[in-house]
Amino acid sequence: VKILVIADIHGNAEALAAVLRREHDAESTIFLGDAILSGPQPNETMALLKKITGTCIMGNHDIEMLEPERFAEWPPQWLALNHWILDHFDPAGYEFLRELKPAGEYVEGGLRMYLHHGVLPDNPRNALPDSPDERLLMLAEGSDCPIVLFGHSHIQFRRTVGGQEFINPGSVGQNRCGQRVACYGVFENGKFRHCQTEYDQQPWL
């Protein structure tokens, strides 16, 4: 069984399309949230996401799309882009966003795992590669699932804490690895690997 794991697309349809082409033989997909905001291709991204099958989790930016009054918490320099996205977003896409699932235990491809977008309740609001073990354990929210998948930081890494494996697949649309690639992950026959693929950035430059 092959499972594609993606997170943090942020309206970058070119990157998502490249990942889906490369991993076209995946039987299912796990999406860990943040589909649209702060990217140039909201409708194109949504059209691709609607075609995938699997478990899709709601991220903090997905909540903000549904509750735009939260934009007041954003830095002023981002507000113009957010409002452009709202003005150009096809209203049909809101149905998909509303159906995104909460963090929790799920079974995908026979693997029991805990899925979490990655936002923590205190500062800093994410788990990083050098975070203390207790911050990673917060992502599991008391679950004993052997695998905890999360996004939000846009950084590919994996760590084992107390017998649980914590995996961040990185960001499809806004990676923080210093290269012009889309980052994601794949489970194949129960084994996980981080992946990266190049994509054409010209359509939205």
List pLDDT tens digits, range 54-79.
999 999 999 999 998 888 778 888 88
List pLDDT tens digits, range 139-196.
999 999 999 999 999 999 999 999 999 999 999 999 988 888 999 999 999 999 999 9
The predicted model scores a pTM of: 0.95
Residues 174-183: contacts with CB under 8 Å, at least 24 apart: 174/8, 174/10, 174/12, 174/38, 174/39, 182/12, 182/15, 182/16, 182/18, 182/19, 183/154, 183/156
String of DSSP letters for 127-161: --TTS-HHHHHHHHTT---SEEEE-SS---EEEEE
Q: How many domains does the chain have?
A: 1
Q: 42: domain range?
A: 2-204
